[in-house]
Structure 1
Amino acid sequence: MRHVTLLVVTVLAFLFAGRVGVVEAQTTYSHLVVIVGAAGDDVYQEVFHNWAIELIDAATNKLNLSPAQITYLGEHPDLAPQRIAARSNRENIEQTIARLAIETSPDDQIFFVLIGHGTGAGEQSRFNIPGRDITALEYDGMLNLFATQEIGFVNTASASGDFVNVLSGLNRVIVTATRDGRQNNQTIFPRFFVQAFAQDVADLDKDERVSLLEAYNYASLEVKRFYEDDGRMLTETSQLEDNGDGEGSYEPLASKTDGKLAQRMFLDSFMGPANTATTPQAHDPSLRELYIEQRELREQIEQLRLIKDTMGPELYAEELETLLIALALKDREIRARGGG
């Protein structure tokens, strides 16, 4: 046991020493894409647009995102031509996702927030946009362009629940306003989700940052309170999924299965400006594959730590040692190819 423990410590020291020179060069950028779909009438059009602007203003003024990090696609760009980049049709959504897949760095976090109406039908569930809708299955294919980046996909629309199972995957946090496609009344969830970032109401751990998990928990609680105060039965049951099992949780931390990735995703770019001379390009095919393998090893280490109490100390140390050595070698290979 003592030999194994010493070897694990040695590997950890090797990992740290190997990464000291690149920590400052690595930067995590956050990117925000707000998509407002087909409203159906002037009232919803104004409400949806106002929510989008409130979120974008919070991202800009409170969270210090630059305009280059924010994309707003709306049904009617003429509502705010200085704010809305393009119409929220299929072509522009596809182009935006493809562009970000090329421009973002491997460790970046990308948030997609969908505001509008939806219809639920499993893989064919849709978020309603001008023109031909994009199905949940098609969104899943688009998100596969992000090999290593962490994705927060927040569908606040009605009947959005089936997106969870379809989009579930590695490095993804999927949030929906409803439990399934049958909850098809218009949702109030986006109002409170936006409020979590725009107002000082959701920072429960008082670290002066609002994680995606904190925003979800705040919105979920406020939706429940809204229906109770109004004397109505709850017709939207939100869920969050981020462990890749395709099963969403209404209360992520209480479930002990979801919430860990969402807890470390933040809309603000906390680590500062990028060093473009040293940040590896996300579209480099050889590096993309290595980053995928690196991320998978880190996930395996995290999963092993979660079940530590169910294992004998010798077995845990041996399995941890194997994974740490593999990760150290993978880090070395990435650095040898110019990555960080």
Structure 2
Amino acid sequence: MQSTVTMSAKPKLPPVAAVRVISKIRDVFSSLTRKMVPPPVVLIEMLSGFWISQSLSVVAKFGVADHMSETQATSAKVLAEKTGANADALYRLMRALSTVDIFREERVGEFRLTPIGAALKTDHPQSMRYFSIYQGQLNWVNWGALGHCVQTGTNAIEHLHGMKSFEYISGDKERADIFDRGMVNVSAMELDPVLAVYDFSPFKTIADIGGGYGAVLCAILAITPGVKGILYDLPQTADGARQHFEAAGLGARVEVSSGSFFDGVPAGADAYLMKHIIHDWSDEESIRIMANIRQHIPMNGKLLLIEHVVPPPGVVHFSKFLDLEMLVATTGRERTEDEYRALMAKAGFRLNRIVPTIGLASVIEASPV
């Protein structure tokens, strides 16, 4: 498991406003490009998009990028020998991915990594390898049942596997490990933008509820030496978190405890943090989780959610497709600012502010009432 503690100070990133302007310009150009191409061609490109995602997942599963470099080309034949793949099939796969800038084919059959492809390496500081495996190996079949989800309003995992989403994921060690490592990948990608805009130093103890292996809490504690942490997750995940904190040299500053946040949460923190937790659950379930936090949080404490906030109609944002992922895989949904405000009020909190980042997620800050 890769360490997520790579800094001792807040990351320096471009201003949020500047990045948002650039994103809007990109969206405008994307829209113009689609309008300039015949509609059937646009639809063919969209409909074949899953070819790319599945190709990425397979390359990640075989660990191809781990045996490659950005500076020197390697032959597909050599890579096939190192990864146990068929040489011809691997070459065809890599050739296809070279058209979307994952690899660069220097000569016939010889490839080097691009900066994008390098993020598929296991040891890349912002690796997306395990998230890619998760998408193609576990999540692939779920999206095949999107029609059922739209027809019934229920998720695909319960329909396909007869059990709740997280029961299914945690019910198999390999599945759970791929999922947890995939979520570590996503956390690493979103951490710098969050750390750059939100100051965690005023808190004495931060409790990360449902914090997985501790990627978020590790990064926060690394840049706030005076702060202590509590990591709370299911028993099988908490065991991995303990090893993670010890390896990062933070074991003495973190208390790791295990259980279900539906039954309760640990006391003793003045900030309760949840990253991409509330979006996994229905309104009723989300209120129950936050109400359990409300029982322990001091009146001067803060509830901090790191979530996507759905923007108004007409605004392009990743959250509008991520909401479909929630429909397919969970009982949850992505929410607007007004929906978060109403949800928090029912759990005994007042939404104070939403702090945007240059990434896709925002920090939603609330106080107990």
| Both proteins in one fold, TM over 0.5 | no
Q: TM-score, normalised by structure 2?
A: 0.23
- Higher RCO structure, 1 or 2 (CA under 8 Å, sep 6+): 1
Which structure features the higher share of helix residues? 2
Q: TM-score, normalised by structure 1?
A: 0.25
